[in-house]
Structure 1
């Protein structure tokens, strides 16, 4: 991947879900040594600070089916603007969450420049609900639907040119908890999903080879990695809000990111859902930082 100019942006947002504390995720990841680790790899790292997130006032939601819609929209608009600026400066955006609803803003900002963006989504969940299908109304379960143009207009309007992610450019890896509405959506749009069944059956190396080959065939002009720490098994990442047993191992995750690094295809990334309140001695943030190292060029020899 060579030396990169990396801009780190924190998004201390926890309004996209129901368990408080993930707003401290960016601080925990920084405390775990993200900047120092990437600098040691020879990258030029600029910490751009955090996107401002307003406190929720005691007032009714604009939409009862979408929790904290106004606050989530406001933070994501600011993030989209920041990511767009970073890309146009020729820098690599590295976004730290925060809950996974921040991917709405990240992808909105990226698609101002990338017209045929590929997206690799490491997650235990499909994150493809809408207000109509969501069991909870939590927006962190909706970013992929929104980023493809489905959902509340306040969320989809973040994409200024309506340059949505194409379903055929999206690959989900590690899924093992998919809601009925999401399953229908995946089948309807023909989205490529490698569940834990495929990872167990074929191995991570084959899954990543197929992922990289698929995106090359699609002739994408950039690839964004969105990594939810609950994609890993809770044994390795206990500090997440929605843990699901039976996830990827520590080594499987590193192998996946090492292969992405070798492919030289990743142009932006985000690491989300680190919740220090639920964590054990910052273990989940430490894993996030080691995974960043693998993605951005760290090797044993």
Structure 2
């Protein structure tokens, strides 16, 4: 059985609402670790990465440049943390935190395994997150990590984990998309990425979609990871997110089918992002996070 390193990525500066920084601590206080151990997992809370300045401690409105610097610094330290966990023999489970953490997560993984670009990634998300600073209407960094992982955007963010490019576009797959801007769609079309919108899932059926995902994510790669934005699921199952989008995926079916990926020997990490406990309802989202880890990673 894999040893799990739970890594809190307490960042909120990439989003409009910084309360996602509270997600990891809320999970820790909810006895997530104890519940995983009761399920038979060998697991530990490896670290809790926090930004240089917490949103809850900052009284004024930060400038965009301040937020940029805090996000860049955070991703640099997160990459180091993930790499250290891997060196100690653990499988990293990164718990965020807004989705701008992805550069740090996957930089740490690819650095440890010494993979240069030949890395695949499943991006389960209601959004494409493929903006650059030139195309985003909001200037929020949690809408940019996919572009950054592909090597596009501000160099300080793109290279905050030590690489100029982390994943190959032909090995990037989006699942659950249903809200995006035209600029993102055109960018990913040019990059030849594979995108499964929720409508595609409804037409093709999830088993067929996951089969195609498996083929693409392992095609010529030396490893791959899974990044889950909780808003990829329907809000009735995951209300505790900043950007709720109706018509999302059903978690039970998704988690059942994705096991073929997480049980593959080249699956090197799991990331769960955008948990905002202040918006949760009856702990639905918190419980879903626990369900994700148990369903995907239990032997």
Give the alignment's TM-score, normalised by structure 1.
0.91
Q: CA deviation at 1:41?
A: 4.2
SS at match of 2:93: strand
1:144 and 2:142 correspond: no
Q: 1:20 to 1:215 in 2, by over 3 A?
A: closer
- Segments of 4+ in structure 1 off by > 6 A? none
Q: Distance in 2 between matches of 1:149 and 1:250?
A: 31
- Structure 1: 5+ residue runs without aligned partners? none
Q: Is the 8 A contact 1:261 1:297 kept in 2?
A: no
Query: C-alpha displacement at 1:190, in angstroms?
Result: 0.6
Q: CA deviation at 1:86?
A: 1.8
Structure 2 counterpart of 1:245: 246
Deviates more, 1:47-56 or 1:254-263: 254-263
Q: Give the direction of change, closer, same or farther, for the CA distance of 1:219–1:17 in structure 2 (3 Å limit).
A: same
Q: Distance in 2 between matches of 1:248 and 1:59?
A: 35
CA contact (8 A) 1:232 1:253 kept: no
Match in the other structure for 2:171: 169
- Residue 94 of structure 1 is matched in structure 2 by 93
Deviation at 1:197, TM superposition (A): 1.3
From the superposition, tell whether residues 93 and 135 of structure 1 become closer, same or farther in structure 2 (CA, over 3 Å): same
Q: How far apart are residue 59 of structure 1 and its match?
A: 7.7
In structure 2, the CA distance between the partners of 1:40 and 1:17, relative to structure 1 (3 Å rule), is: same
CA distance in 2, matches of 1:41, 1:14: 30
| Contact 2:176 2:249 (8 Å CA) reproduced | yes
From 110, 119, 124, give the equivalent of 2:126: 124
State the 1:60 CA deviation.
Answer: 5.9
| 2:227 match | 226
Determine if contact 1:83/1:106 at 8 Å carries over to the other structure.
yes
In 1: Cα distance, 2:245 partner to 2:191 partner = 25
Residue 14 of structure 2: aligned partner: 16
Distance in 2 (alpha carbons) for counterparts of 1:161 and 1:247: 33
- Counterparts of 1:212 and 1:76 in 2: how far apart (Å)? 28
Structure 2 length as normaliser, TM-score? Answer: 0.91
1:35 pairs with one of 15, 33, 36: 33
Corresponding residue number in structure 1 for 2:67: 68
**What is the rounded CA distance, in whole Å, between the counterparts of 2:170 and 2:192 in structure 1?**
7
SS at match of 1:104: helix
Q: Report deviation, 1:29.
A: 2.7
Counterparts of 2:27 and 2:62 in 1: how far apart (Å)?
33
Q: What runs of 5+ residues in structure 2 fail to find an aligned partner?
A: none
Which range moved further: 257-266 or 89-98?
A: 257-266
Kindly indicate whether the alpha-carbon contact (under 8 Å) linking 2:49 and 2:77 is maintained by their aligned counterparts in 1. yes
Aligned pairs (5 A) from 1:129-208:
129-208=131-210
1 CA distance for matches of 2:130 and 2:228?
A: 15
Relative to 1, partners in 2 of residues 1:38 and 1:221: Cα closer, same or farther, differing over 3 Å?
Answer: farther
Greater RCO (Cα-Cα under 8 Å, separation 6 or more):
1
Q: Call closer, same or farther: CA 1:137–1:176 in 2, change over 3 Å.
A: same
SS of the aligned residue for 2:11 comes to: coil
Q: 1:240 to 1:62 in 2, by over 3 A?
A: closer
Q: Which residue of 2 aligns with 1:103?
A: 102
Q: How many residues align?
A: 292
Point out the more displaced range, 158-167 or 254-263. 254-263
- 1:122-172 Cα offsets, whole Å, 9 max, x none, are 100011001011010000000010111101111012242434211011111
1:68 positional shift = 0.9
Asked if the contact 1:38/1:293 (under 8 Å) is kept, the reply is: yes
Kept after mapping to 1: 8 A contact 2:46/2:85: no
